[in-house]
Amino acid sequence: YNQFGVIVGMVHYMMPFAILLLYANLSEIDPRIIQAARSLGARPVTIFTRVWLPLSLPGLAIASLFIVIFSLGFLVTPAILGAGRVLMVAEYISVQISSTLRWGVATDLSTTLLLVVGVLVAVAARSPALRAAFEGGRR
């Protein structure tokens, strides 16, 4: 029941979502590009850093954004694994409402959380990489 346990639990919970998002992105990479780099004499490290990684950055960005937004709303996992001693944002808001009855603080934190998520989604929606990732199947 400590912060390390909460982090391990949150990573364990969020990892499948990140893997699925990354898999969707990585499966869209044309293997002929990798083969072309290999046939032109590129070493495996060069292929990874100059071909594979840049092509996978939109998927990494989407997965990171999704995980950050999802993690902001974690309530149950930190409550169980942290035994009330490790407070994340959502649990702190819950404590402010139910235990300390500080409605103003809870309202301020909730509004700030909502604005942060809104800004992240708005920035991501304007990103060409995000649009390209979502339009990957449509040609």
Question: Per the domain annotation, does 139 fall within a domain?
Answer: no
Q: For the chain, 139 residues long, give each residue's pLDDT as a single digit of tens.
A: 777 888 888 888 889 989 988 888 888 888 899 999 999 999 999 999 999 988 888 888 888 888 888 887 777 777 777 777 777 777 788 888 888 888 888 888 889 888 988 888 888 777 776 666 566 555 4
CA triple 82-105-7, angle to 5 deg: 20
Q: Which residue range is the domain that position 99 belongs to? A: 3-134
Stated pTM of the model: 0.70
- The domain tally of the chain equals 1
Q: What pLDDT, on the 0 to 100 scale, is given for residue 72?
A: 79
Q: What number of helices (H) and strands (E) belong to the chain?
A: 8, 0
